[in-house]
Amino acid sequence: MPPPVPKAPPRRFQQARTNLGRFARSGSQDDLRRGLGHYSRSGLGGSSTAARRMGGTAQRAGGLFGVLDALRTGTPIPPGVAVDPAQLVGKSQSEIADIIASALAPVDGTQDGEAARDSVSRSLSELLDTDPNAELTNLNAAQIDAVVEGYIAHDLAHRIELDVGKAVLDKADSYSEGVERLQEMKSYVRQEVARAFRAQRAAQPMNRQNATAMSNAILRGTFEIFESYL
């Protein structure tokens, strides 16, 4: 059993907010990197603890991989995920995406649940935008990897925005510029998740047995990248 996540100290995001506020005003990538580095190190307690705090994301990423792999191979859907392949027959790809997202992140009235559902939906929609001929019930290994990578990136970006995004909006010269800076931050997060994903995939391919653990390692690797700029 992993050690419990330590109790979060008060004002733990102060340094992250300060640097991200500077980024909001200046657009400096150095301020952005320092802000995310402090977000991981002082805000979440370092890369290992940060990855444990994101354990739900890793679990859901493993479930997402499992569902897509099961649909592709015609094997049983992972336990606890309410997707019935028979009910997907005749559905549009967008309808199938909605069913998968709702099964992996059921409505529970929480911000985290809503963010997770949105992250799954976005990752599936991005694949369909990239390849309109893709069939979510018959994706190849590279497509499944792309969906899982996208989900991890979107969910991490959501988490960061919920924790410290207000500092960016508050310190920007205008609301529209603040929104633009948040998008820049999300793009940077996506870039570094992709980097961490490539590093993990180079060591071993993702499969149903290791998807959750590998997703946790990808999150930890991303936080390590953030902290490397401090």
Which tens digit of pLDDT belongs to each residue from 54-107? Answer: 999 999 999 999 999 999 999 999 888 889 999 999 999 999 999 999 999 988
3, part of any domain: no
8, part of any domain: no
In angstroms, the CA 121 to CA 155 distance is 11
Q: Write the CB contacts of 170 (distance below 8 Å, at least 6 apart in sequence).
A: 21, 24, 178
For residue 7, is pLDDT > 60? no
Task: Record the tokens describing residue 213, joined without a space.
Answer: 């653990």
pLDDT at position 109: 80
Q: Work out the average pLDDT over 129-156.
A: 96
186, part of any domain: yes
In angstroms, the CA 31 to CA 60 distance is 31
pLDDT at position 89: 93
Radius of gyration in angstroms for the set of CA atoms belonging to the chain, rounded to a whole number: 18
39, part of any domain: yes
In angstroms, the CA 168 to CA 170 distance is 6
113, part of any domain: yes
In angstroms, the CA 128 to CA 120 distance is 13
For residue 9, is pLDDT > 60? no
In angstroms, the CA 91 to CA 88 distance is 5
7, part of any domain: no
pLDDT at position 111: 84
4, part of any domain: no
For residue 38, is pLDDT > 90? yes
For residue 8, is pLDDT > 90? no
19, part of any domain: yes
pLDDT at position 127: 97
**What is the identity of the amino acid at 14?**
Q
pLDDT at position 203: 92
pLDDT at position 4: 57
Question: Percentage of residues in the chain with pLDDT exceeding 70?
Answer: 96
State the pLDDT confidence band at 112, using cuts at 50, 70 and 90. Answer: confident
For residue 207, is pLDDT > 70? yes
Considering its fold, how many domains does the chain have in total?
A: 1
pLDDT at position 196: 97
**What is the identity of the amino acid at 86?**
A
Domain range spanning residue 129? 14-227
